[in-house]
Amino acid sequence: MSYKKTRGSLCKCQYKLHHQTVPTYRPLLLAFPENQAMKFSILFFILLLACMCPVLAQGSYENCCLKYVVGIKKSTKRKVEKYRLQETDGGCNIPAVIFTLRSSRSFCANPQLSWVQRLMGEVNARSNNKRM
């Protein structure tokens, strides 16, 4: 049996059958030698992994602040329920205070600003009053 690469999707293969040469046509993919089929399989596997890596990595991203708000309205300050501190470790680049509103929205503020320190104190006082 001999394999011949052609430009089309089929290749002409010859078989010896009862002392006669019978031309047959097979799909070109089957006519690839084993090492080329193996290269294709490896390439396909690598492409599959490359597509899956960003999907798997999305779960490891942290919920980090990338910038601060400049200021907020008094009405917004009254709606703050809680806050948490963001440290500059892992994937987070800036220190921040992340305030969470009653509507589950959040905003980030610079922890060194005086209004942020006052708001943190107010939120602490409100949460202590609710506990009592």
Quote the Cα angle for 30-35-36, to 5°. Answer: 60
Phi, psi of 37 (to 5 degrees): -65, -35
Residue 80 sits in the same domain as residue 124: yes
Q: Which stretches in the chain have pLDDT values below 50?
A: 1-6, 8-9, 58-60
pLDDT tens digits, 21-47: 555 555 555 555 567 777 788 888 888
Res 25: pLDDT: 56
Res 19: pLDDT: 58
Res 60: pLDDT: 46
Res 99: pLDDT: 95
Domain assignment of residue 2, yes or no: no
Which domain does 20 fall in, by range?
10-59
CATH number of the domain bearing residue 99: 2.40.50.40
Residue 32 sits in the same domain as residue 55: yes
pTM score: 0.53
- Distance (Å, whole) CA 67 – CA 94: 8
Residue 51 sits in the same domain as residue 94: no
